[in-house]
Amino acid sequence: MSILGTRVVRKEDPKFLTVGGTYVDDVRDPRLEGAARATFVRSTMAHARISSIDVTEAQAAPGVIAVLTGADLGLAPLPPSIPLLNQSMVRPLLADGTVRFVGEPVALVLSEDGPSGEDAAELVFVDYEPLQAVVDPEDAVRDEVVLHGEAGTNLAMEMDFGSDPDLFEGCEVVVSQRVVNQRVAGAPLEVRAGAAAWGEDGRCTYWCSTQAPQASRDTIQTALGLEPGTVHLIAPDVGGGFGAKIGCSAEDIVVAWAARHLGRPVRWVETRTENMTNMGHGRAQIQRLTIGGRRDGTVEAYRLELLQDTGAYPAMGGILPYLTRTMSAGVYAFPKVECNLRSVATNTAPTVAYRGAGRPEATAAGERAMDLFAAEIGMDPAEVRRKNLIPTDAFPYTTAVGTTYDIGDYTGALDRALEASGYEQLRAEQARRRQEGGRVAVGIGISIYVEVTAGPTAGGEHGRVVVNADGTATVYTGTSPHGQGHVTSWSMIVSDRLGIPMDDIQVVHGDTDLIPNGVGTFGSRSLQLGGTAVHEAAGKVLDVARGLAGDLLEANPDDVVLDAQSGRFHVRGTPAVSKTWVEVAAAAGEGGLDVETEFTAESPTFPFGAHVAVVEVDLDTGKVTLVRMITVDDAGRLLNPLLVEGQRHGGIAQGVAQALLEEIVYDADGNPVTSNFADYAFVSACELPSFELVAMETPTPVNPMGAKGIGESGTIGSTPAVQSAVVDALAHLGVRHVDMPATSERVWRAISAVANGSAA
């Protein structure tokens, strides 16, 4: 029986639950002995010219080795790494005369220990000449305040695919709404950290908390003007990334430079406040949606206009609206869809990928549109959705914006979610409470989603499998786990193919000397690309081994089979005479059972699902309580249901947090108001019910494992379901829309606005 598809407990957990992980600041490598500590002096203003930087007092402080500014570095600023973004909007590694967001690095203090550096950083005097700040992207797009003079505009990217003035011609009902996907923080439990040591051979070893070691290595090499192979990057255990740690940061580059400059190792670990204000935020997208159709519930046209906040320096967040457009039609067979987009710079921290990265925004807009349409025509929101779903027999299906989905059963997902929730009974309970006039209202929200994983920019992935002389196996993977369970998953794949016990399989990752080629972990790409690469490498090892076993057994290799249960080779039909992996490895000689592959899929995959959220809202205080969360998340054929459930739980929790709690807020001058966990409402188990997970598997034809991504799906489906539930709870009062997060204050204000006769 195959181990694949079974609930195998994680191999990683005993270490994490006993001795704990080894994160960047835990590394005790001899090469880091005597390391200096790096502390960054950060801007206290959102937009200003720097008149002068006085480091005299800081330089004389106890324990200080050096205080450096951008002029000392002599390094070129970094252009946006994505060519589609405005290449004039470059980012200096340390501020070059102008600061553009609160927290931007201005200077670097190198000290013998961390506390000395923190004290000295307070002594660096920066003379600022204030400039007007622009925080709201709707203000920034008018270019009244321009951040980058060389660009002459705040427009970082614009994609206009055309607009039909008659798009809604003939529609019986047309509804419009401005929707905000608020700015949120990734908030990994391990903040960003780095450590650099240069060897006598001129090579730099850099330890980095990153999701993409090879890309981080390449970024440091390029920024420092180094030859390929000069940087050896190691990603040890990584305590969360959520998209914000794809690649390395400007601070990492400066730390590597500083270690070479000093001639001694340098360590850096940011504080929680630095992480909250500098690491990069997610979402931050303003949407204007219009949906039109017939009163029988048929949607005939959908328009979505996107305005993305890139922050001060355009990064990955600036191009994510393109993914929103890619998935703008969602699960619906809309005959006409328009989606145009712009990204603009503001005096805020840059926006980056955040779990889901552009796809949650598409679902949030589409599901809000369907609810608004259903409310306008007086139809049940579940039935409006059902009426417009892409038929199950229509796949592969190309949407009105040109995205081709591999496979789906959206009606089946909706049916399972509604049945598991007891939808009709929930509606009956809602009606009863409304009739009784109680002050605690029930709301039911529905979300049906489809997302793209291992998308068009995901690339391929590297896999290598080696069977060692003692019959054990070593797997080398280009993916870089930070909680996903890759060690367990890749061990399962190899064990299934080669019959080697999981405990005898080692998985190596995150070291660019051992794995020079690789892409990393993001975009829910790992299993379908990295796992398939390992699957194929193991298959090729098996092919070689069968040939060697045939020689040992004096048989045709085509007649040799591997008994995966015992891990022994024998001629088909005669298991009494067999050869072990140890014997086959000996016959192979050095390097004989060592195969590496690169796997690239022909197309992305499109996981889907349906979520139902049930909330209670106190109509006197606005407090929202999530009572139930029922989810169907179809990720194709499941390798390990236990790991999948863990990913679903994490994603759902993050999505609920965006709907109800989390928001990065700036004041009008660009000062961050939510700079730590005292101000930022980070979700915990106390705010969450036990999730009700409903199983569904629709294998994809795109890869041999039938696997689709799962790491981000929960985040994509849960947020609009919870938002819809909140609005649904207030619908009988006349509330039409509540932007996220649906905090008590925001809900109370929406109720009050309707009671006072103003629009909600």
- 697-751 tens-digit pLDDT: 999 999 999 999 999 999 999 999 999 999 999 999 999 999 999 999 999 999 9
* 146 is a domain residue: no
**Residue 694, pLDDT above cutoff 70:** yes
Average pLDDT of the segment spanning 188-211 = 98
The CATH number of residue 58's host domain is 3.90.1170.50
Rounded to whole angstroms, the Cα distance separating 275 from 590 reads 47
Q: Give percent helix, percent strand, percent coil of the chain, each to the nearest 5.
A: 30, 25, 45
* 178 is a domain residue: no
Average pLDDT of the segment spanning 121-130 = 98
Average pLDDT of the segment spanning 391-399 = 98
- Structurally, how many domains does the chain consist of? 4
Residue after which a domain boundary falls, among 204, 237, 269:
269
> What six digits make up the tokens of 593?
């059972």
Q: Would you state the pLDDT for residue 759?
A: 62
Q: In this structure, are 122 and 52 located in the same domain?
A: yes
* 177 is a domain residue: no
Q: In this structure, are 583 and 732 located in the same domain?
A: no
Q: Would you state the pLDDT for residue 592?
A: 86
Q: Would you state the pLDDT for residue 476?
A: 98
* 150 is a domain residue: no
| C-beta of residue 306 within 8 angstroms of C-beta of residue 343 | no
Q: In this structure, are 549 and 594 located in the same domain?
A: yes
* 155 is a domain residue: no
Q: In this structure, are 27 and 80 located in the same domain?
A: no
Rounded to whole angstroms, the Cα distance separating 472 from 689 reads 43
User: Which range is least confidently modeled, 1-5, 164-168, 177-181?
Assistant: 1-5
Supply φ then ψ for residue 260, to 5 degrees.
-70, -40
Q: Please write the tens of the pLDDT for every residue from 207-226.
A: 999 999 999 999 999 999 99
Average pLDDT, the chain: 97
Q: In this structure, are 27 and 64 located in the same domain?
A: no
Sign of CA dihedral 388, 392, 393, 396: positive
**417-432 b/e (C-beta count within 10 Å ≥ 16 → b):** bbebbebeebeeebee
The CATH number of residue 532's host domain is 3.30.365.10
Element (H, E) at 222: helix 213-223
**Residue 757, pLDDT above cutoff 90:** no
Residue 13: which pLDDT band, with cuts at 50, 70 and 90?
A: very high
Q: In this structure, are 524 and 659 located in the same domain?
A: no
* 185 is a domain residue: no
Sign of CA dihedral 734, 739, 744, 748: negative
Q: In this structure, are 442 and 313 located in the same domain?
A: yes
* 145 is a domain residue: no
* 234 is a domain residue: yes
Residues spanned by the domain of 99: 35-131
Q: Please write the tens of the pLDDT for every residue from 570-617.
A: 999 999 999 999 999 999 998 889 999 999 999 999 999 999 999 999
Rounded to whole angstroms, the Cα distance separating 11 from 298 reads 50
Q: Would you state the pLDDT for residue 590?
A: 86
Q: Is 499 left (phi over 0), alpha (psi -120 to 50) or beta?
A: left
Residue after which a domain boundary falls, among 565, 599, 633:
599
Q: Please write the tens of the pLDDT for every residue from 325-337.
A: 999 999 999 999 9
Q: In this structure, are 58 and 118 located in the same domain?
A: yes
Supply φ then ψ for residue 640, to 5 degrees.
-145, 100
**Residue 376, pLDDT above cutoff 90:** yes
Please enumerate in sequence order all residues whose Cβ is within 8 A of that of 276, keeping only pairs 6 or more positions apart, or say none: 185, 187, 664, 672, 674, 675, 676, 680
> How large a percentage of the chain has pLDDT more than 90?
98
Average pLDDT of the segment spanning 490-519 = 98
Q: In this structure, are 336 and 412 located in the same domain?
A: yes
**Residue 689, pLDDT above cutoff 80:** yes
Q: Would you state the pLDDT for residue 187?
A: 96
Q: Kindly report the pTM of this predicted structure.
A: 0.97
Q: In this structure, are 544 and 469 located in the same domain?
A: yes
Rounded to whole angstroms, the Cα distance separating 728 from 735 reads 8
Supply φ then ψ for residue 717, to 5 degrees.
-80, -35
Residue after which a domain boundary falls, among 229, 244, 269:
269
Q: In this structure, are 312 and 427 located in the same domain?
A: yes
**Residue 118, pLDDT above cutoff 80:** yes
Q: In this structure, are 375 and 388 located in the same domain?
A: yes
